[in-house]
Structure 1
Amino acid sequence: MKRKYTKSALLLIDIQNDYFYKGKMEFKGSYEVVARAKKILDSFRKKRKTVIHIQHIAVKKNATHFISGTYGAEIYEEVTPKENETIIVKNTPNGFIDTGLFEYLKNNQIENLTIVGMLDNMSNDPTVRTAKDLGFNVQLWEDQKANLSVV
C-alpha cells in the first residue's frame, strides 16, 4: 500500500557563530540568512516536522574556524537546536560524506528536504547535489530575497 503523504525535513547547514560579528570567518549576509532560517525553522517546529542541524567541526590541525570546543563552532543562538532535534556533525563541505545523514533520512522515511545554509558555493551546493543524486526532493533557499527554489 502506497503512503498518501511524504515526510519532510529541514536541514540547517553551518549556521554557526564563526560566520557572525567577531567570528573567525564573518560572512556579510549572515544575519539575512539566519533571519530566513529562523522563519522557516519556526514553521517546521510549529508543524512538528523534522529539523536537522548540520554543524561543521574542523579536523585539520591548521584550521582557523569551526574548531571543536570553541564558541565559534557552536550553532548560532537564533537557531539553537531543541532537545528533540538532530545534530549531524560533518568535517567536509558535503553534509552526506562520513556522516549519518543519509541513514537518518532513510530510517525516518524522509523524502523532501528544505535546505537553508550559510554559503551556497561551499556547503549548500555539494549537499544539495548529493541529496538530488540520492533521490530526495529538494527546496533550497538560495538568495538574499528569501526565495525558495525547487532543485
Structure 2
Amino acid sequence: MKRKYTKSALLLIEIQNDYFYKGKMEFKGSYETAARAKKTLEAFRKKRKTIIHLQHIAVNKNASHFVSGTYGAEIFEEVTPKEGEKVIIKKTSNGFVETGLFEYLKDNQIENLTIIGMLDNMENDSTVRAARDLGFNVQLVKNQNTAVCMI
C-alpha cells in the first residue's frame, strides 16, 4: 500500500554568528535572511516537523571563521536549536559530504526538504544540488527576496 503523504524537513544552513555584525565574515543581508529563517523555523516547529541545523566548523587550523569553540561558530540565537532538533556538523560547502545527513534523512523517511541558509551561491547551492540529485523534493527559501522557489 502506497503512503498518502510524504515527510518533510527544514534544513537551516550555516546561520552562524560569524555572518553577523562584528563577525569574521559579516554578510550583507544576514539579518534579513535570519528573519526569514526564524519565520520558517517557527512554522515548522508549530507543525512539529523535522528540523535540521547544519553548522559549519572549520577544519583548517588557520581558518578565519567558524573556528571550533568560538562565538562566531555558534548558531545565531534567533534560530538556536531546541531540544530534539538535529544539529549536524559539516566541514565542506556540501552538507551531504561526510556528515551523515543523507542517512539521517533516509532513516527518518524524509522526502521533502525546505532549505534556507546564508550563502545561496556556495553552501546552499551545493547542498541543494546534492539533495536534488539524491532524489529529494527541494523547496529553497531564497535570500534575495521572500519568494520560495521549487527546484
TM above 0.5, yes or no, is yes
Amino acid at match of 2:128: V
Task: Output one character per residue of 1:48-69: Cα deviation in whole Å (capped at 9) or x when no partner.
Answer: 0000000000001110000000
Q: Indicate the residue corresponding to 1:118 in structure 2.
A: 118
Amino acid at match of 1:4: K
TM-score by length of 2: 0.99
Superposition pairs for residues 1-151 of structure 1, below 5 Å? 1-151=1-151
CA distance in 1, matches of 2:10, 2:109: 14
Three-state SS of the structure 1 residue aligned to 2:53 is strand
Q: Percent identity?
A: 76
CA distance in 2, matches of 1:61, 1:108: 34
Amino acid at match of 1:109: Q
Query: Unaligned stretches of 5+ in structure 2?
Result: none
CA distance in 1, matches of 2:55, 2:145: 24
Amino acid at match of 2:36: R
Amino acid at match of 1:5: Y
1:33 Cα deviation from its structure 2 partner:
0.2
Three-state SS of the structure 1 residue aligned to 2:146 is coil
CA distance in 1, matches of 2:149, 2:55: 23
Query: Unaligned stretches of 5+ in structure 1?
Result: none
Number of residue pairs the alignment of both structures matches? 151
Superposed CA RMSD: 0.6
1:145 Cα deviation from its structure 2 partner:
1.8
CA distance in 1, matches of 2:51, 2:92: 20
* Poorly superposed stretches of 4+, deviation over 3 Å: none
TM-score by length of 1: 0.99
Instruction: Tell me, yes or no, if the aligned pair for 2:118 and 2:143 is still in contact at 8 Å.
Output: no
Amino acid at match of 1:88: I
Instruction: Tell me, yes or no, if the aligned pair for 1:32 and 1:144 is still in contact at 8 Å.
Output: no
